[in-house]
Structure 1
Amino acid sequence: MDTQDIIKKVRTIEIKTRKLSANIFAGQYHSAFKGRGMAFSEVREYQFGDDVRDIDWNVTARFHRPYIKVFEEERELTVMLLIDVSGSLDFGTHRQMKSEMVAEIAATLAFSAIQNNDKIGVVFFSDKIEKYIPPKKGRKHILYIIRELLDFHAESRRTDLNEPLEFLSNVMKRRCTVFMLSDFYTRTDFLSPLTICSRKHDVVAVQVYDKCAAELPDVGLMKVVDAETGHEQYIDTSSRKIRQAHRDYWIKRQTALQDVFNKNNVDSISIATDEDYVKSLLILFKQRS
Structure 2
Amino acid sequence: MMTTAEILKRVRRIEIKTRGLSNHIFSGEYHSAFKGRGMSFSEVREYSPGDDVRAIDWNVTARFSTPFVKVFEEERELTVMLLVDVSSSSLFGTSRQRKRDLITEIAAVLSFSATTNNDKVGVIFFSDKIEKYIPPKKGKSHILRIIREMLTLEPSEEKGTDIGECLRFFNNASKKRTIAFLLSDFISAPYEEPLKLTARRHDLVGVQVYDKADKELPDAGLIQVQDSETRELQWLDTSDKKVRLQYAEAFVQHQKYGVNAFRKTGAELIAVRTDDDYVKILQGFFINR
Question: What TM-score range do you get, normalising by the shorter chain?
Answer: over 0.9
In 2, Cα distance between the equivalents of 1:231 and 1:50? 64
- Cα distance change on mapping 1:169 and 1:66 into 2, 3 Å: farther
SS at match of 1:260: helix
Measured at CA, do residues 185 and 135 of structure 1 come closer, stay the same or move farther in structure 2, by a change above 3 Å? same
Report percent identity of matched pairs.
57
Match of 1:183 in 2: 185
- Partners of 2:33 and 2:95 in 1: how far apart? 30
Q: Which residue of 2 aligns with 1:207?
A: 208
Structure 2's unaligned 5+ residue stretches are none
Query: How many Å apart are 1:179 and its aligned residue?
Result: 0.6
Any idea what SS the aligned residue of 2:41 has? Answer: strand
The one-letter code of the counterpart of 2:23 is A
Note the alpha carbon deviations across 1:175-215, whole angstroms, 9 max, x for none.
Answer: 1111110000102x211111111111111111100101111
Pairwise CA distance, 1:69: 2.7
> For the residues of structure 2 that align with 1:164 and 1:81, how far apart are their CA atoms?
11
Q: CA RMSD in A?
A: 1.6
Q: Partner of 1:39: helix, strand, or coil? A: strand
1:48 Cα deviation (Å)?
5.2
* CA shift digits 1:5-34 (9 cap, x unpaired): 101101111111111111111111111111
- Within 2, Cα distance between the matches of 1:155 and 1:145? 18
Question: 1:107 maps to which residue?
Answer: 108
Q: Are the structure 2 counterparts of residues 177 and 233 from structure 1 closer, same or farther at C-alpha, using a change threshold of 3 Å?
A: same
| Aligned pairs for 1:36-47 within 5 A | 36-47=37-48
* CA deviation after TM superposition for structure 1 residue 53, in Å: 4.3
Query: Is residue 2:15 matched to residue 1:14?
Result: yes
**TM (normalized to structure 2)?**
0.94
In the alignment of these two chains, the number of paired residues is: 287
User: What TM-score do the two structures reach when normalised by structure 1?
Assistant: 0.94
Distance, in Å, in 2 between the alignment partners of 1:234 and 1:46 is 74
SS in 2 for 1:219: coil
In structure 2, the residue matched to 1:93 is: 94
1:143-188 CA distances to partner (integer Å, 9 max, x unpaired)?
111110100122251111112212222221221111110000102x
- Runs of at least 5 residues in structure 1 that lack an aligned partner in the other structure: none
State the AA in 2 paired with 1:6: I
2:162 is equivalent to residue 160 of structure 1? yes
User: Quick one: structure 1 residues 192 and 58, their matched pair in 2 at CA, closer, same or farther if it must change by over 3 Å?
Assistant: farther
Shift of 1:54: 3.7
